[in-house]
Amino acid sequence: MKMVFRWFGEGNDSIPLEYIKQIQGVEGIVWALHDIPAGEVWTIEKINEVKQQVERQGFHVDVVESVNIHEDIKLGLPSREKYIDNYIKTIENLATVGVKVICYNFMPVFDWVRTNLFKELEDGSTALFFEKSKITDIDPMELVQSISHNHDFTMPGWEPERLVYLTELFEQYKEVTEEDLWNHLQYFLERIIPVAEKNGIKMAIHPDDPPFSVLGLPRIITNKQNIKRLLDLVDSPSNGLTLCSGSLGVNPDNNIAEIASEFSDRIPFAHIRNVRRYENGDFIETSHRTTDGSVDIQSIMEALYKSRYSGYLRPDHGRHIWNEKCRPGYGLYDRALGIMYLWGIWDSLCRTSVETEKYADAK
């Protein structure tokens, strides 16, 4: 397992790289060029700028997250050819600096949905919250305003240049079924996966967040069956999954440890976080500790360990604690605590395995 940490770039993150360097066991930075609109090429010059910033602190840039896909590709419009060509060029440019994994998603319009970015928990901390009854009748524009009001940082998946066409986008998606979305994803993968293979890059799709239809939009990367279908669309080691325990964990029917075990050889990247589910369909994000939420983080880490997982893993969203002023879900303190919790499980598994082997040899 290679521990990494998400960082949104100089001037766009409350956390300096110097602080991340002080978290034990972190090898690399998960990064992106958040100022480049979806569909445009990431230039080598801009890529190298971030690479130099990251490597000065002793980190690698192996994993990139939020290489977002233009809506015309998801909609299957004729104009998708231009944007797929641009995506291919970005893959090739990223390969020049040694990128190994690209995390992306195929969610229409919104990359993720919450109704409250700072819902207070019992202990006084705050966290991202989803209120099911509120989302049922909310106007999409009202949702945009509630999510995008934080002007201090960019909000990946909620870019203004895309959301300005929100009404038009919803109109376009009215006729798009889940099966249509599957076909558009397959077309995209058939174009890009050979390029990724040639350049030594693994594409790792992120599950839909949350893993069900929101505001009538189709969603398809939601469960084990659909993950298998995705991996079979283009059967290649370069067509992989970002295992996200928080996204998949919203659905109690998803056995994430089982998913981790079955598809371990196709999971180059993992996001580990916990959520607390409520019977009415609401959920809130919690600390990473298993007993703090509804997701069995321990069993997921055990499944990865038993599979001899050697991919990249990062703590995902954390609470906002100790009065930290930060990007929603991406403070320093709770994610650092999350890393220590995940390392604690991993180290314990390693030690137990060694002791078991010694005992077997002694017999």
Task: Write out pLDDT tens, residues 144-177.
Answer: 766 665 556 655 555 666 666 777 888 899 999 9
pLDDT tens-digit map of 240-291: 999 999 999 999 999 999 999 999 999 999 999 999 999 999 999 999 999 9
> Active-site residue 60, yes or no?
no
- Determine which of 7-11, 50-54, 137-141, 345-349 has the lowest per-residue pLDDT on average: 137-141
**Is the confidence at residue 358, as pLDDT, over 60?**
no
221 and 230 Cβ atoms separated by less than 8 Å: yes
165 and 108 Cβ atoms separated by less than 8 Å: no
Q: What is the torsional sign of CA 348, 350, 356, 361?
A: negative
pLDDT tens-digit map of 18-40: 999 999 999 999 999 999 999 99
Cross-strand partners of 341: none
Q: Where are the alpha helices (DSSP H) in the chain?
A: 17-20, 44-55, 71-75, 80-95, 132-137, 140-148, 160-163, 166-173, 178-198, 224-233, 245-249, 256-262, 297-306, 333-362
Rounded average pLDDT over 117-141: 89
Exactly one of 60, 70, 184, 206 is catalytic; name it. Answer: 206
**Burial class of residue 317 (count of CB atoms within 10 Å of its CB; 0-12, 13-18, 19+):** buried
> Active-site residue 361, yes or no?
no
User: Residues with Cβ < 8 Å from 33, sequence gap 6 or more?
Assistant: 9, 42, 46, 47, 50
pLDDT tens-digit map of 324-343: 999 999 999 999 999 999 99
Exactly one of 244, 312, 334, 341 is catalytic; name it. Answer: 244
Rounded average pLDDT over 120-140: 89
Q: Where are the alpha helices (DSSP H) in 204-363?
A: 224-233, 245-249, 256-262, 297-306, 333-362
**Is the confidence at residue 107, as pLDDT, over 50?**
yes
Which residue reads 């966290």 in tokens?
Answer: 127
Exactly one of 111, 292, 316, 334 is catalytic; name it. Answer: 316
Exactly one of 60, 70, 184, 271 is catalytic; name it. Answer: 271
pLDDT tens-digit map of 85-100: 999 999 999 999 999 9
Q: Give the residue with greater pLDDT, 143 vs 85.
A: 85
Number of C-alpha atoms within 13 angstroms, CB side, residue 75?
17
pTM over 0.85: yes
> Active-site residue 244, yes or no?
yes
> Active-site residue 206, yes or no?
yes
**Is the confidence at residue 143, as pLDDT, over 70?**
yes
Exactly one of 104, 309, 312, 330 is catalytic; name it. Answer: 330
